[in-house]
Amino acid sequence: MTTNQKTMPNPKLKINEESKNSDIVTKPKIGDKKWTDYVLEQLEEGELFEGKYPTVNGLRRITPSLLKGKFITQESIVHQVPCESNAYSATVMHRITVEIEHLSKESTILIAEGCADASSRNLNGAYENYPTAMAETRAEGRALRRLLNVNLVVKEEIDDGDLNLNTYNSPNKINDIQIQSLNKQCNQLNIDLEKFLALAKGIAIDNLPKISREVTLELLEILSGYIADNNSIPKEISIDKI
């Protein structure tokens, strides 16, 4: 005599399976709404600033694994070398080439570029002496962002280098490069620096080395406006051309 026996599902087994599945993190596709958050979650301690600004080193480390590829080349091209005529500004373009390998043994080549500048206007403290290096790092960060297709800003873009090191006596004061920049721009615009300082901020020329970095940036911003529109330059600070 034969009997039909039905196999009853094991409820404990079902619970265990559900627990395992809940532990699996689904990787979002590049460009999805959750993609940027996923990228940030791959960073380790010290590679993320204030919970939302990744370091360039961190992005460089995780990019190959996220793209399932490898770096082929990385190159930097200096478009502008710091000198007196450009107010000691550096401009660098960085290009990254990545090879993405597929199961079909074929590969795809991705190329991304980033360009950035650095000068006394966006650097401070320890970093002011290295505008070209900082421009290169920022340019690499932008290239990595384009490769990963993430909407974020790297730490080096917002970090002006104000480290308050003992070797810098007054990191919050105007520096020699900024003074040279003010002189250079005033000369280019045929503006009397002494009259400009007095009109813009009520500053005596002798007190220029003592003004704060904040006021310095405001003065440079005013001069940038004059460069964009020469007609906005007040006549009382203009130098008559001979």
Stronger pLDDT, 28 or 85, i.e. the higher one: 28
Contact in structure between 157 and 129 (CB atoms under 8 Å): no
Give the tokens for residue 123: 């650097």
Cα end-to-end span (Å), the chain: 123
DSSP 3-state assignment of 125? helix
Q: What pLDDT band is residue 34 in, cutting at 50, 70 and 90?
A: very high
Encode 1-28: b = buried (16+ Cβ within 10 Å), e = exposed.
Answer: eeeeeeeeeeeeeeeeeeeeeeeeeeee
Beta bridge partners of 96: 74, 112
Return the pLDDT at 235: 92
pLDDT in tens, 98-117: 999 877 678 899 999 999 99
User: In this predicted structure, what is the pLDDT of residue 9?
Assistant: 54
**Residue 229: its pLDDT value, please?**
86
Between residues 160 and 67, the one the model is more confident about: 67
Strand, coil or helix: what is 68?
coil
Phi, psi of 10 (to 5 degrees): -90, 110
Give me the residue label for tokens 């405001």: 218
Cβ contact 148:63 at 8 Å: yes
Model pLDDT, residue 223: 87
From CA 181, how far away is CA 76, in angstroms rounded?
26
Q: How confident is the model at residue 22 (pLDDT cuts 50, 70, 90)?
A: very low
pLDDT at 130: 86
Rounded CA separation 143/162 (Å): 25
Structural domains of the chain sorted by starting position, each given as residue range(s) with its CATH number in brackets: 31-158 (3.30.160), 176-237 (no CATH)
